[in-house]
Amino acid sequence: MKTLYNTPMTHTYDRKWLSQDVLDRFLRYVQINTTSDQHIAEIPSTKGQWDLLRLLYKELQELGVDDLSLDEHGYLIARVKAAKTDSARAEAPCIGLMAHVDTSGDMSGEGVKPQIHADYKGSDIETGNGYTLTVAENPALANYVGDTIITSDGTTLLGADDKAGVALIMTALKWFKEHPEIEHGPFEIIFTPDEETGKGMNLFPVESLTSCCCYTFDGGERGIIESECFNAYIAKITFTGNVVHLGSARGKLVNALTMAGNYVTMLPRNESPEATDGRYGYYAPFEVKGGLDKGELTVYLRDFEVEGMQRRVELLHTLAKTVEDLFPGGSVEVHAKKMYTNMREHIAINPKIMDLLEDAIRQTGVEPERTIIRGGTDGARLSEMGIPTPNVFTGGYNFHSRFEWASLSTMVESVETAINLVRLWADQQVP
């Protein structure tokens, strides 16, 4: 693809400055506990998310952004006008840069103590508290000798998912504010809550955006970009038993929890998260609760194809009937609900969205690689809403775990990618 500039854009960037700014922001943000809670219906589901959102609002104001909104559901949107020298750029399409502020509840996010490992030598990393990030289990570390690696102290996750994305977008904005002579098109910054619970976009005010497309900075490995994700459903399976005194239960008691346990064992083990990779979907029993009378099982369903998802939902109903037959007097109800769909078709409508992204990455000196997400992002939901939104790398690894780590140099390359995207889109026509 023809690039907008005759020389690589990286020639205009001070990587030392970018490194320091994005690192300072990242360290500041990860120390705010923003773990979201799937059991709380309110959005945002936790107070800590508000703490970070309000800090970001204040920092955006300090950077001179005057078109700001933070609504009652924690959606923070900043709108930045074009910097132009001719009328053509005034008509450039607006794009969005997006990240989420919450972290996963799979691992504690309370009291994160980031550890900086400068000038990484290529050996195992002692993160603290008896935990070791080993090269054997993290072969990608071999690509970052001489880099600065950031980890937690092993007692918590780090929070690169997705505070790396938040930090790099803020650094990109600051770069533009400090370089008013650089031409660029209009862009919007979107920070969202509760992405990890799957409900973060439920109340999103999509009508307030003017972006023709958006980019979530919520990926991992250097150069990886994603325009395809799972179709995702969540199923709530309710088991109703028949309770009698345990002392006289023979032939009468129907234990709802025993029914749930049998149901779980019937799910195909060769189609579980731990048994699949690539384009293979899965069933994932996620949570069970209840007692003798009532039990509820939560199952996550994932598949890249709509037909595959239909098959999975049908199997849940078949298993429900089987369990009812095994436990006369008991009943099983299945309620399956869509969480998000594969963003593939939405993004494919306009090939320029991915072509410009690849161009933006190449101009940082990194070769882009398209792949699939074995998961989802807020971008999948936003794509459904009519704003195509692929996902971009941020330099984080081992998300949701105590062994999460991030590469500072890759975070900087992602900052440059965000800047390049805004500059490249300034030369495009409104779709």
Question: Quick one: CA torsion of 211, 15, 9, 7, rounded to 10 degrees?
Answer: 180
DSSP-assigned beta bridge partners for residue 337: 234
> In Å, how far are 49, 362, 372, 418 from 392, measured between CA atoms?
22, 13, 11, 9
Q: Residue 85's pLDDT is what?
A: 61
Is 324 in the active site?
no
Over residues 28-81, the pLDDT tens digits come to: 999 999 999 989 999 999 999 999 999 999 999 999 999 999 999 999 999 999
Is 102 in the active site?
yes
Length of the chain counted residue by residue: 431
- Which token pair is 60? 């955006």
Q: Residue 8's pLDDT is what?
A: 41
Predicted confidence band at 377 (pLDDT cuts at 50, 70, 90)?
confident
Over residues 112-151, the pLDDT tens digits come to: 999 999 999 999 999 999 999 999 999 999 999 999 999 9
Q: Residue 2's pLDDT is what?
A: 37
Predicted confidence band at 89 (pLDDT cuts at 50, 70, 90)?
low
Residue 7 pLDDT exceeds 50 = no
Q: Residue 427's pLDDT is what?
A: 86
The radius of gyration of the chain's CA atoms, rounded to the nearest angstrom, is 24
**Strand locations in 6-122 (E):** 68-70, 76-80, 95-100, 115-117
Q: Residue 375's pLDDT is what?
A: 84
Predicted confidence band at 88 (pLDDT cuts at 50, 70, 90)?
low
**Strand locations in 276-419 (E):** 282-290, 294-303, 331-340, 369-373, 391-392, 396-397, 405-407
Predicted confidence band at 4 (pLDDT cuts at 50, 70, 90)?
very low
Residue 315 pLDDT exceeds 90 = yes
- Of the candidates 147, 195, 196, 303, the residue annotated as catalytic is 195
Positive/negative CA dihedral, 411, 224, 83, 74: negative
Q: Residue 10's pLDDT is what?
A: 42
Residue 1 pLDDT exceeds 50 = no
CATH numbers and ranges of domains, the chain: 9-229+342-425 (3.40.630.10), 231-339 (3.30.70.360)
The percent of residues in the chain predicted with pLDDT above 90, rounded, is 89
Over residues 353-372, the pLDDT tens digits come to: 999 999 999 999 999 999 99
Residue 265 pLDDT exceeds 60 = yes
Residue 281 pLDDT exceeds 90 = yes
The strand pair at 187-192 and 125-128 is best described as unpaired
What pTM was estimated for this model as a whole? 0.88
What is residue 15's three-state secondary structure?
helix
Q: Residue 126's pLDDT is what?
A: 96
Average pLDDT over all residues of the chain: 94
Q: Residue 6's pLDDT is what?
A: 33
- Of the candidates 102, 147, 196, 384, the residue annotated as catalytic is 102
Q: Residue 5's pLDDT is what?
A: 34
Q: Residue 144's pLDDT is what?
A: 97
Distance CA 241, CA 249 (A): 12
Q: Residue 204's pLDDT is what?
A: 97
The percent of residues in the chain predicted with pLDDT above 70, rounded, is 96
Residue 272 pLDDT exceeds 90 = yes
Q: Residue 86's pLDDT is what?
A: 64
What is residue 175's three-state secondary structure?
helix
- Which token pair is 94? 């607006």
Q: Residue 428's pLDDT is what?
A: 87
- Which token pair is 318? 């078949």
Contact in structure between 332 and 324 (CB atoms under 8 Å): yes
Residue 9 pLDDT exceeds 60 = no
Residue 301 pLDDT exceeds 50 = yes
The strand pair at 149-151 and 115-117 is best described as antiparallel
Q: Residue 431's pLDDT is what?
A: 59
Predicted confidence band at 200 (pLDDT cuts at 50, 70, 90)?
confident
